[in-house]
Structure 1
Amino acid sequence: MLGAFAVAGATALICAGPAAAALQDGVYAMDGSDGMSEVTVTTNCLPTGCATLVSSNAGWVAQAQESNGLWYFSYTRPDGQICPDRTFAPVTVHYAVNLNTMSGVMSADSNGDCPGGVINQTPFSFHKVR
């Protein structure tokens, strides 16, 4: 359910066009997105197809997929939320990027194993640094 919510919200906020630009290999800065400053994009191709991976300077790796003119990738932080009973719960973070406008939206859901989770959406700019 969150995926559909995050996708709908991100699409509305960054106004995807009919076709996405290619997500080129390189290092990108993501200003304003949860303190994460850079991601590295690499595409590996086999005869059966290609996979585009996004790895962050925070240590996570996610597969990027294009849909409806946007690029999407997600990762889960296993201890991303502290519950009222002081235990930790996972948080899944979703990114949607429009390469035509070089902007995106980060959506995070803190539901995990805690009751009463909150969905936050944060816009960010996206630009290639090398």
Structure 2
Amino acid sequence: MKFFIRNLKNDQWRVREESAEALGEIGDKLAVEPLIEILNDENWHVREAAALSLGILDDSTAMEPLINMLQDEKDSVRYGAALALSSVGDNSAINNLKLAANDESLMVRQIAEFAIEEINSRTLE
């Protein structure tokens, strides 16, 4: 795991992207903070991979940074953030997801609606 965390700072964006994906697959919560840090990466592929991995890791520490990613310039990143929030989010994410449900991108709108349903279903349990 340390290998992948170290590679989040690699000069090659593909290495950073693949490392972010691998950290999600490994599933160790020690990767949460390093993944949050690269949500500001200059490359949207890396930001998207980090968001999706944070959703897999399902740690509430990532909720606020993921909410911020709903404003990303790239629709794929907004999609990844909304999908991650379907796992990580709680009721405090709902208003931001409602805004995302009006996104210009159809895929973002659909996944935001899904995330809202997921969060609501968890609060009913």
TM-score under structure 2 length normalisation: 0.23
Give the number of the structure whose alpha-carbon radius of gyration is greater: 1
Q: Which has the higher contact order (CA 8 A, sep 6+)?
A: 1
